[in-house]
Amino acid sequence: MTWFDESRLDDETAIGAADLRFRTLAESGSRVRRECSDASEAIHEAVGRLQDQARPRAIIAAGPDSRLLRAVLEPWCPVPFVAWPGPVLPGWAGSLDLVVVLAPDGADSGTASAVAEAVRRGCQVVVACPPGSMVADHAAGRWSTIFPVATQDPLATAVVVLSFLDLVRLGPSADPEGVASALDDVAIGCSPYRDLSINPAKMLAIALADANPLVWGGSVLAARAARRVAESIRRASGRTAIAGDVDQVLPVIEATRPRDVFDDPFADGGGELRPTLLVLDDGNEDPVLGDHRRRLEDTAAARGVRVETLTTEAPSEVARYASLLLQGTWAAEYLRLGLVDD
């Protein structure tokens, strides 16, 4: 039987055994700074090239990580934008279009195929990938620019490309230092050496210890963060964790058996794992999203479902996304740390 030992969250021996995972999370901000600094020369070269030409007819984000760019750009981009995660570009893509690619490890053959096709069609191409990688080799061309990255961090790679799109006025503000500072703030607040009583990630891990999480984020970016947080929880715990829109999460809450105060929490090895609603609040004040959140929280209250909330005060949309994602990932790692086999 697996159970949750919350004392491990402040135990130096247990924390030391997980040092590599915690160190990787704590260095998120420094990776953003490093990647953006290393790619700055290539970014300015690409900005100069694009400013000498007419605005692209459309932007195509290619590769498996294109959905993050879509979440950021769709509400802002002044030209048509499409995320295209497959290995083949849409048939209409050509020399009037800009193709942007995130390839943190540079080894995906499907992404390399899409990049080679973009070069062959004469598209403007910007690719964030490791120099010398398979994707970089396929990106070589007259109208191509490679942004060198080395950490294989999808978020840091995305910030590199988003900072370029910001400079050419094709995307929202994506100040790398603002994103890095937001990640540093989370790392300080969620540090493994910060006491359980004042550590929000440890407290969230305890709240999720006996639950099947339902993760909801209202805005496009918060919803993207919710899906990534749910993935982290599944990997860390091996338990069910669902992320979805209100129409997907609400039926699960409605189907939950109301909590009975006479239930024995120790019966049958600890009883059933009940849902817990985890709300990712990025400060979006859209009234429709506010209505969706009230529906979820009111239904949760009626069914006795616990509600937990992650918030952020980061300055930009991208920074708020990064902050919520990292907070949820820290909590998932603490959940992994506390779960032990009897």
| CA torsion, ordered 264, 270, 272, 274, to nearest 10 deg | 90
Q: How confident is the model at residue 65 (pLDDT cuts 50, 70, 90)?
A: confident
Decide if 35 is inside a domain: yes
- Is there a contact between 61 and 164 (Cβ–Cβ < 8 Å)? no
Looking at 127, 145, 174, the residue that finishes a domain is: 174
Q: How confident is the model at residue 260 (pLDDT cuts 50, 70, 90)?
A: low
Query: Kindly report the CA angle at 194 between 297 and 243, in degrees rounded to 5?
Result: 30
Q: How much of the chain, in percent, has pLDDT values that exceed 90?
A: 83
Lowest mean pLDDT among 47-51, 99-103, 194-198: 47-51
Instruction: Output the domain CATH number for residue 87.
Output: 3.40.50.10490
Taking 80 as the threshold, does the pLDDT of residue 114 lie above it?
yes
User: Which pLDDT belongs to residue 123?
Assistant: 95
Domains in the chain, number: 2
pLDDT digits (tens, 9 = 90+) for 200-227: 999 999 999 999 999 999 999 999 999 9
| Sequence letter at residue 163 | S
Q: How much of the chain, in percent, has pLDDT values that exceed 70?
A: 96
Taking 90 as the threshold, does the pLDDT of residue 2 lie above it?
no
For residues 168 and 199, membership in a common domain is answered with no
- Quote the pTM value: 0.93
Q: Which residues contact 267 (CB under 8 A, 6 or more apart)?
A: none
Q: How confident is the model at residue 163 (pLDDT cuts 50, 70, 90)?
A: very high
- Average pLDDT across the chain, whole number: 93
For residues 218 and 279, membership in a common domain is answered with yes
pLDDT digits (tens, 9 = 90+) for 262-317: 665 555 555 578 999 999 999 999 999 999 999 999 999 999 999 999 999 999 99
> What is the extent of the structural domain holding 71?
30-174
